[in-house]
Amino acid sequence: ETGVTQSPTHLIKTRGQQVTLRCSSQSGHNTVSWYQQALGQGPQFIFQYYREEENGRGNFPPRFSGLQFPNYSSELNVNALELDDSALYLCASSLPGQGIGYTFGSGTRLTVV
């Protein structure tokens, strides 16, 4: 199995709601990271998971949380949605180590109204 798959591809939520985004990592990749990409901007690092534990976090509030499962799939959860959370959320997986490079999914487009 190759590639990183994300679901759903598009999602519309109301301000204040909670959302869960899902990612299936590339086979053999035990490191997963999540990024938020606002329209017209570069992706911003949210957090990274390695072997089911968070091992790095960007400048995002605690209402952004995640999980990684033994099969290396992962979730991004966002509570108390705000309008500014509207963005493309990208999942990326890699083997451990620096400079390996990530394989990115096509993302989930979240719209908060």
Partner 1 sequence: AQKVTQAQTEISVVEKEDVTLDCVYETRDTTYYLFWYKQPPSGELVFLIRRNSFDEQNEISGRYSWNFQKSTSSFNFTITASQVVDSAVYFCACDNFNKFYFGSGTKLNVKP
What residues make contact with partner 1 under the rule CB under 8 A?
Answer: 31, 33, 35, 40-45, 48, 56, 58, 88, 90, 92, 94, 96-107, 109
Token reading at 15:
């301000």
The minimum distance between CB 80 and partner 1, in angstroms, equals 25
Cα 81 to chain center, whole Å?
A: 15
The minimum distance between CB 84 and partner 1, in angstroms, equals 17
**CA atoms within 13 A of residue 92's CA, in its CB half-sphere:** 21
**In terms of CB distance, is 18 or 46 closer to partner 1?**
46
Which residues does 12 contact at the CB level (< 8 Å), separation at least 6?
111, 112, 113
The minimum distance between CB 90 and partner 1, in angstroms, equals 7
